[in-house]
Amino acid sequence: MARFITPGSMEAVSRLGGAPGGKRGAPALDTDTDSTREIKTHFRVCRFIMETGVKLGMRSVPVATACVLYHRFFQCVSVTVYEPYLVAMSCIYLAGKVEEQHLRTRDIINVCHRYFHSSSEPLNCDGEFWDLRDSVVQCELLVLRQLNFHVSFQHPHKYLLHYLLSVKSLVNRHAWSRTPVAETTWALLRDCYHGTMCVRHAPQHIAIATLYLALLSYGVEVPVGEREWWQVLCEDITKEHIDAIISDLLHLYDMEAKCT
């Protein structure tokens, strides 16, 4: 697979990445196993994707798609063979196309370059720039092939918003307006994408779990009937599911301290 990426472009990207100790975070601890190191790397790269997404003005769903593409790609291949940041850039580019929010490679490269070299001048229109561009485009093809061109996913976002509206109607409107349940659950959902939990659980389950956690955080009382609200929203979910997802999510927040 490496033959699709020219030596020049790989070099360019590693130059982009700067010194190994730079943005890639704290040096690896000896006690870290390979897998922990990998998880940390993935966390950092996903953080990179999300930051870039904000700076590019990407909506939540394309950012989610980019992260899912990234996770799925590295589920099959090793992180040592492919430069993860390059893959991330290509995933962003591809996600923009899939979710109909087209991004220009020039903008992606500009933002990424500045991410690694803060307060630097924008790149000149020279060989390095074109090399980078070439590598992004080549890698995009690589990602597509690796994923067998299955690049369209169902995301929790749509479900979450509908569930929000339905639950909102159960609760007293003043109580609802006092509590930022919508912002919190949206934040929780976005933060899910730092780890692989986003690909390990069904979208409806993730949506319910984030909503559940948000309501729990603020102590919002939801009326109870024969069935719980979350049971109604999705037939096949159980309390254990919800708890598992919540614990995964909380684990991600713990990781933040370790990785950045």
Partner 1 sequence: MDRDLLRQTLSHHGQSLFTHLKCEQSENPDFKAIEPDLSKASYQRKYGGEDNALVEQFIARKADILFAPSWKSSALLEDPYAIMPPLEQFMEVSFEERRNLLYRDIERGDIVIGRINSIRDFGFFVTLICMGGGLERDIEDLELTALCPLRDVPSNGNHDDPLSYYQLNDLIRAGVKDIDRYHEKITISLQPSSLGPNLMNLKLGVFSRDDMPLQYSRSVRVANDNTETYERVLEGSLGYSNPSNVEYLLGKIGVSDTQPPSLMRGLQSKHFLEEDFATTIRKKQSASWALKCVRVGVDHFKSGRHVEAMNEYNKALEIDTNNVEALVARGALYANKGSLLKAITDFELALESCPTHRNAKKYLCQTLVERGGQLEEEEKLVTAEGLYRKALALDDSFQDAKEALKKIELLIQKSLKLREEAAAKEAEKAKNVETSAEKLRKILKEEKRYIHTNPSERKSKKKKRKHRRSSRGKKHQQVSSRDNRSVADDEEEWYPAPPNTSASFLDQKSSVVRPFEGPESTEEGSQPPSKGRSHSYRSLSSVSDAPDNSRFEDDPFDASPQRAEGSKGKGVRGDKTSDGDVKEREGSRGQRKIKHRRMSSSSAGSEHSRKSDQYTNDLPSQSHISTYRRSDSGKYGSTERGDKKEQERGTRRSDGGDYRSSTDATRNGKGSSAGGSQKKELPTNLLDLFSQIAQFEKEKCVKPKK
Which residues are at the interface with partner 1 (CB under 8 A)?
Answer: 47, 50-51, 54-57, 59-61, 100, 106-108, 110-111, 114-115, 118-119, 121-125, 157-158, 161-162, 164-167, 169-170, 172-173, 182-184, 186-188, 190-191, 194, 204, 223-229, 232-235, 253, 256, 260
171: tokens are 């609760």
Output 76 or 125, the one with its CB closest to partner 1.
125
Q: Is 249 exposed, middle or buried (0-12, 13-18, 19+ CB in 10 A)?
A: buried
Q: Which C-beta is closer to partner 1: that of 6 or that of 182?
A: 182
The nearest distance, CB 80 to partner 1, in angstroms, is 25
**What minimum distance in Å lies between the beta carbon of 133 and partner 1?**
13
Distance CA 185, CA 229 (A): 16
Give 6 or 117: the residue with its C-beta nearer to partner 1. 117
Reduced to 3 states, what is the DSSP secondary structure of residue 7?
helix
Q: CB of 57: closest distance to partner 1 in angstroms?
A: 6
Buried b (16+ CB within 10 A) or exposed e, 35-48: eeebbbbbbbbbbb
C-alpha angle 254-39-25 in degrees, rounded to nearest 5 = 75
Query: CA 105, CA 89: separation in Å to the nearest integer?
Result: 9
Write the CA distances from 228 to 38, 123, 176, 235, integer angstroms. Answer: 39, 56, 19, 11
Q: How far is the CB of 166 from partner 1 (least distance, A)?
A: 4
Cβ-based nearer residue to partner 1, 24 or 190: 190
- Residue 77: CB minimum distance to partner 1, A: 27
Q: Which is nearer to partner 1, 36 or 184 (CB)?
A: 184
Of the pair 76, 257, the CB lying nearest partner 1 is at 257
User: Burial level of 182, CB count in 10 A (0-12/13-18/19+)?
Assistant: middle
> What are the tokens at 98?
């899939």
Compute the least distance from the CB of residue 52 to partner 1, in Å: 9
Q: Closer to partner 1 at the Cβ: 137 or 182? A: 182
Cβ proximity of 237 and 208 under 8 Å: yes
Query: Residue 97 CB, nearest distance to partner 1 (Å)?
Result: 14
> What span, in angstroms and rounded, lies between the C-alpha atoms of 219 and 229?
15
